[in-house]
């Protein structure tokens, strides 16, 4: 669990994103969380020079489907980075463990296979309250942090 505000960053250290195209794949599961993460990510991209028309959003049903959605985006869109936004909350079964492990490994695999960074913006929390705190609550918005990572990684890719 984050103990600092995820939304703080030094804008002077962020590359200008005006020449980059970003993909954002958003899980429809737990939409109050994922929509807040998306809004934070989009806002941070725009505040750092990204052009709205260069931000492509696709929705997928759940966090496990983020892998395929990101893969298709990487294969069909001319993007400089993709952000996978999802939320998995611990329940009473092992389903949480399987989904979290699968999504983590799947996004790792995309980063190995493709020469375009895929950013992990999937909250894996014990409670809904923890997810709220990390998607615009007292710990800031992980979507902002991931957008900044996407900008930095898109710039790194240019080297």
Active site residues: 95
At 67, list the tokens: 């892998």
Judging by beta carbons within 10 Å of its beta carbon (0-12, 13-18, 19+), is residue 13 exposed, middle or buried?
Answer: exposed
Handedness of CA 27, 33, 39, 40 (dihedral sign): negative
Residue 40 belongs to what H/E stretch? helix 31-47
What one-character-per-residue DSSP string does 86-114 give? EEEE--SSTHHHHHHHHHHHHHHHHHHHS
């Amino acid at each position: 669990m984050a103990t600092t505000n995820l939304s703080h960053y030094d804008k002077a250290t962020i590359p200008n994103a005006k020449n980059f195209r970003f993909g954002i794949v958003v899980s429809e599961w737990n939409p109050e969380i994922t929509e807040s993460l998306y809004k934070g990510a989009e806002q941070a991209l725009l505040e750092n020079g990204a052009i709205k028309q260069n931000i492509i959003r696709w929705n997928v049903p759940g966090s496990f489907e983020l892998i395929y959605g990101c893969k298709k985006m990487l294969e069909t869109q001319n993007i400089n980075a993709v952000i996978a936004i999802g939320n998995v909350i611990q329940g009473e079964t092992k389903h949480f463990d399987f989904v979290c492990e699968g999504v983590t490994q799947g996004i790792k695999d995309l980063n190995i296979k493709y020469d375009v960074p895929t950013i992990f913006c999937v909250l894996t929390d014990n409670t809904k309250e923890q997810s709220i705190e990390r998607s615009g609550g007292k710990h800031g918005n992980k979507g902002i942090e991931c957008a900044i990572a996407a900008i930095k990684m898109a710039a790194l890719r240019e080297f």
